Copies of this chain bind each other. A is one copy, B any other.
């Protein structure tokens, strides 16, 4: 199943604000099985998201939802775009229902 493990890098001093936006409990996301937001103590400016989706299409569709676009619009000014990294995975076992 489609899985992403990625980093967003915050602008200096903006990590906690970015973490707050990314951690908001939002409306349901069709096809989403996991959306964990985490920090790495060795990475002071990073916010990590680990996502599992029933398909890559479900992930792409989520980015067109109004409430997701609104959240992205609030987060973007806090993000250093050159600090973005993303690993694409295929989850084979242990995916939450």
Contact = CB atoms under 8 A, between A and B. Distances in A.
B92 A38 contact: yes
A3 B38 contact: yes
A79 interface: no
Task: Say how many copies of this protein the assembly contains.
Answer: 2
A11 interface: no
Interface string A85-96: 001111111111
Given A35-B94, A38-B90, A48-B89, 17 more contacts: A5-B5, A5-B50, A19-B92, A25-B93, A34-B34, A34-B36, A36-B91, A36-B93, A37-B91, A38-B89, A38-B91, A38-B92, A39-B89, A40-B88, A40-B89, A41-B90, A50-B50
